[in-house]
Amino acid sequence: MKIDIVSVFPEYFEVLNLSLLGKAQSKGLVEVTAHNLRDWTHDVHHSVDDTPVGGGAGMVMKPEVWSECLDELLQLEPAVIENTENIEDSADSFDTGDSCDTADSDTAPSSAGPVLIFPNPSAPLFTQQDATELSHADHLLFGCGRYEGYDARIPQYYRAQGIDVREYSIGDYVLNGGEVAVSVMLEAITRLLPGFMGNAASIVEESYTGDNALLEHRQYTKPAEWRGIKVPDVLLSGNHAKVDRFRRDEALEKTNELRPDLIEALDCAKLDKADRKTLMALGWEVSAAHPRKR
């Protein structure tokens, strides 16, 4: 997978040379290049932003600098949009961000070409489903906004050029720029690449993974008793079926307590008898397509 990142702080991404992502780069699984947006400016001040049209606080990133950069990285010729009425703008083309719709959770991005991704606090939430989908792409290009964000015509223009453009928020809070958000998305995506993790099974068992996503059960290691606190007996029993059931019930209980929205999204047809019993004991009705609180 080839990953380009455009930022006014490309040094920020030096951390990507560490840890597992660093190893994945050495192994040739992924090639990450961070570019400085200011390299595509022509003025003495290397300016990338300007005041907002229509007034307001802060500065907005200029489309001309971004387009020179993105055209080069996407190998596109500059074009002029003749009829702007029929092209999607970013708001229309946002997906619903519905992380519970897992029907096509493991499909490739809509086009086989590069995927252009802009972190944006006013976009749909980035989910595990998006990470899975993007892990199948050959080329990801992240554009980090700063200040009050980037000119809205940038994603609009590249969509009109047939590029798969995504805008994602990583959470309901505002950061100073897209760099942290890109690091988060990049880690979530690249760790899903085959050969990236030492133990592929650990991905399968994680929270937010699979059809019927639940929060993960608690984990313990040795010693069996530490500072007076014992690990649950069943985990020491050696009875794998019992251990699996205990963990599954714990995942259901934890999800019920912390993320009931994930319980509501479960597909009842995929729950086994014991799951249903646990959910019913937690106050859920499980006879319809999805659980409903009684």
- Least Å distance, CB 199 to ligand ADE, is 30
Strands (DSSP E) contained in the chain are 2-7, 31-36, 49-50, 60-61, 115-119, 139-143, 164-168, 225-226, 229-230, 284-285, 292-293
- Total residues binding ligand ADE (CB under 6 A): 11
Min dist. Cβ of residue 53 to ligand ADE (A): 21
Q: State the minimum distance, in angstroms, from the CB of residue 179 to ligand ADE.
A: 9
Cβ closer to ligand ADE: 114 or 119? 119
Task: Tell me the closest approach of the beta carbon of residue 126 to ligand ADE, in angstroms.
Answer: 8
* Biggest alpha carbon–alpha carbon distance for the chain: 73
For the chain, what is the radius of gyration of the CA atoms? 23
Within 233-292, the residues that bind ligand ADE by CB under 6 A are none
- 148 touches 52 (CB < 8 A): yes
Among 105, 120, 128, 156, binds ligand ADE (CB under 6 A): 120
d(CA 237, CA 250): 17
For ligand ADE, the binding residue among 162, 171, 195, 283 (CB under 6 A) is 171
Per CB under 6 A, 124 contacts ligand ADE: no
Tokens matching residue 187: 């880690």
Name which of 59 and 231 has its Cβ closer to ligand ADE.
Answer: 59
58 binds ligand ADE (CB under 6 A): no
Output 70 or 185, the one with its CB closest to ligand ADE: 185
Separation of alpha carbons 57 and 71, rounded Å: 29
To the nearest whole angstrom, how small is the minimum distance from the Cβ of residue 89 to ligand ADE? 19
**Eight-state DSSP code of residue 212:** S
Q: Which of 169, 183, 209, 256 binds ligand ADE (CB under 6 A)?
A: 169
Element spanning 46, H or E: none
Instruction: Tell me the one-letter amino acid at 265.
Output: A
Q: Residue 184 CB, nearest distance to ligand ADE (Å)?
A: 8
Stretch that binds ligand ADE, among 58-66, 115-123, 128-136, 229-237 (CB under 6 A): 115-123
Tell me the C-alpha distance between 105 and 95, whole Å. Answer: 14
DSSP helix/strand/coil, 292:
strand
- The span from the CA of 224 to the CA of 214, in Å, is 26
Find the shortest distance in angstroms from Cβ 132 to ligand ADE. 19
- Closest to ligand ADE by CB, 126 or 284: 126
- Using CB atoms within 10 A of its CB, is residue 258 exposed (0-12), middle (13-18) or buried (19+)? exposed
What is the binding site for ligand ADE (CB under 6 A)?
Answer: 119-121, 169-171, 173-175, 178, 181
